[in-house]
């Protein structure tokens, strides 16, 4: 059994108030000074003010605080959310800080985050700023490998589609479809019909998974297709999922991470189980895709099994990363979706009970996704993401930041011009 709504909201609120009190304020805006690794594995990290993005910046932090303030009416939470969103909107105009494309790392994600956070706060200023950013997005000028969900065209298509659905704006949905068709044209089709994309340099093969691989790209294509049906987009998504299924290793019981990483043998793949790379993101995406009538059974079962096994292992380790991107609560987010789809949630209840006991009641510092585990405020590696998970536990209507647009797929509705 999951924690009841009262304790889950209490955990999210404790985290949210802590974030709000750490804000650095100037006028009607605010930011945070967070630790950020400058190089892979760098320890200790450097410190700098947050960027405008959703991944670790003021856009994501402001969005979390907005969702929290909608459920815990409080002036500090509401005012800090608005101040963070103003900072994100202002800084998103600076091309030296953020590029146009991508959901978590691009201006497209900032735009839809402002829209949805503004909707939660009933804040027209944030919604107008978000629409302005989305309307100004370029539909061309991208690099050939700028295709993934984090910082590429898949993230832009997804952001435009969600915004078009929220605003009932057919022109935004049409722009999402235009970006999605461009994305399909950048894919590499193999003789057996599978489809994949170059998403970053330094890989031994095109990547699978949600953040940088075929799973996230397929998700974006399916969301656009759900709003503006297009056989080409749906076919491409199915071919992308087939590429991912082909990459599965029964021996390793998982999917390879084909990045060439410093300090790791170049001829040896490893098999992570995170949201960003591996089974957790794959499981979560396929749970939603099953709502579109796609046959997901084999790969979905394998991904959920791998996620539950890794979550059990991490639960028994002292000092585990607890955050969303590649931590224990990112696995819990996928298992929560599994539970709500009527599937076995594995160790989900034990994960949440342990987190509440040790870090909420026991008042130990919530560990971040940095090697030092020091406190950071952002969504994917920090406290805002932990708080978001507990908001989801408290309120089933609160969508996952790890699977944006899932409600569009699972409701089965179609809108458009």
For every one of its 417 residues, what pLDDT tens digit does the chain have, with 9 covering 90 and above? 889 999 999 999 999 999 999 999 999 999 999 887 666 666 666 788 999 999 999 999 999 999 999 999 999 999 999 999 999 999 999 999 999 999 999 999 999 999 999 999 999 999 999 999 999 999 877 788 899 999 999 999 999 999 999 999 999 999 999 999 999 999 999 999 999 999 999 999 999 999 999 999 999 999 999 999 999 999 999 999 999 999 999 999 999 999 998 777 888 888 999 999 999 999 999 999 987 778 777 899 999 999 999 999 999 998 889 999 999 999 999 999 999 999 999 999 999 999 999 999 999 999 998 888 888 999 999 999 999 999 999 999 999 999 999 999 987 533 322
Residue 38 to residue 162: CA distance in whole angstroms: 32
Q: Are 147 and 199 in contact (CB under 8 A)?
A: yes
Strand partners, 347: none
∠ CA(336), CA(341), CA(342), 5° rounding? 100
Query: What is the secondary structure of 212-239 as a DSSP string?
Result: SSHHHHHHHHHHHHHHS--HHHHHHHHH
Alpha carbons within 13 A on the beta-carbon side of 286:
29
Task: In whole angstroms, give the CA distance from residue 256 to residue 244.
Answer: 10
Q: Looking at residue 413, what is its pLDDT?
A: 39
Q: CB of 277 within 8 A of CB of 207?
A: yes
pLDDT at res. 416 = 28
Burial class (CB in 10 A: 0-12, 13-18, 19+), 157: buried
What pLDDT score does 266 carry? 82
pLDDT for position 16:
98
pLDDT value at position 414? 36
Handedness of CA 44, 49, 53, 54 (dihedral sign): positive
Cα separation, 83 vs 58, in Å, equals: 9
Q: Look at residue 195 and give its three-state secondary structure.
A: strand
Please give the pLDDT value at position 40.
Answer: 61
d(CA 352, CA 322): 11
C-alpha of 151 from chain center = 12
What are the residues whose beta carbons fall under 8 Å from the beta carbon of 93, sequence distance 6 or more? none
Q: What is the DSSP letter of 202?
A: S
How far out from the chain centre does Cα 22 lie?
24
Percentages of the chain per state (helix, strand, coil), in multiples of 5: 50, 5, 40
Angstrom distance (rounded) from CA 230 to CA 148: 20
Give residue 412's pLDDT: 53
SS3 83: helix
- Cβ atoms of residues 391 and 400 within 8 Å: no
Of 167, 79, 173, the closest CA to residue 130 belongs to 167
Q: CA-to-CA distance for 271 and 278, rounded, in angstroms?
A: 7
Measured between alpha carbons, how far is 75 from 58 in angstroms, rounded to an integer? 18
Q: How far apart are CA 417 and CA 411, in angstroms?
A: 19
Report which of 384, 411, 404 is spatially closest to residue 216, judged by C-alpha positions.
404
Please give the structure tokens belonging to residue 159. Answer: 């952001």
pLDDT of residue 44: 64
């Amino acid at each position: 059994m999951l924690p009841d709504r009262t304790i889950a909201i209490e955990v999210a609120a404790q985290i949210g108030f802590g974030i709000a009190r750490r804000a650095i304020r100037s006028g009607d805006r605010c930011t945070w000074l967070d630790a950020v690794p400058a190089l892979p594995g760098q320890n200790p990290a450097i410190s700098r003010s947050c960027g405008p993005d959703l991944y670790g910046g003021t856009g994501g932090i402001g969005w979390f605080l907005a969702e929290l303030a909608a459920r815990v009416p409080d002036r500090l939470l509401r005012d800090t959310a608005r101040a963070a969103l103003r900072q994100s909107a202002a800084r998103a105009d600076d091309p030296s800080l953020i590029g146009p494309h991508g959901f978590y790392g691009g201006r497209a994600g900032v735009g839809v985050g402002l829209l949805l956070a503004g909707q939660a706060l009933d804040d027209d200023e944030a919604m107008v700023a978000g629409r302005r950013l989305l309307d100004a997005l370029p539909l061309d000028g991208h690099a050939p490998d700028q295709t993934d969900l984090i910082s590429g065209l898949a993230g832009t298509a997804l952001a435009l589609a969600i915004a078009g659905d929220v605003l009932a704006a057919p022109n935004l949905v049409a722009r999402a479809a235009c970006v999605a068709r461009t994305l399909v044209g950048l894919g590499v089709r193999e003789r057996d019909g599978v489809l994949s994309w170059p998403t970053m340099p330094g890989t031994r093969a095109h990547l699978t998974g949600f953040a940088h691989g075929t799973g996230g790209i397929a998700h974006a294509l399916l969301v656009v297709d759900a709003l503006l049906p297009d056989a080409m987009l749906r076919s491409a998504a199915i071919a992308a999922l087939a590429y991912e299924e082909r990459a599965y290793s029964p021996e390793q019981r998982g999917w390879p991470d084909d990045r060439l990483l410093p300090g790791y043998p170049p001829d040896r793949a490893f098999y992570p189980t995170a949201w960003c790379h591996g089974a957790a993101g794959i499981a979560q995406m396929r749970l939603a895709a099953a709502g579109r009538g796609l046959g997901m059974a084999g790969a979905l079962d394998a991904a959920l099994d791998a996620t539950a096994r890794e979550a059990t292992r991490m639960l028994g380790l002292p000092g585990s990363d607890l955050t969303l991107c590649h931590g224990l609560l990112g696995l819990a987010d996928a298992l929560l979706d599994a539970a709500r789809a009527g599937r076995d949630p594995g160790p989900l209840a034990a994960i949440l009970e342990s987190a509440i006991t040790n870090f909420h009641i026991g008042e130990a510092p919530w560990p971040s996704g940095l090697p030092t585990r020091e406190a950071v405020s952002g969504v994917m590696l920090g406290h805002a993401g932990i708080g978001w998970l507990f908001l989801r536990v408290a309120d089933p209507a609160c969508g996952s930041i790890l699977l944006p647009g899932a409600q569009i797929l699972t409701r089965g509705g179609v809108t458009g011009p």
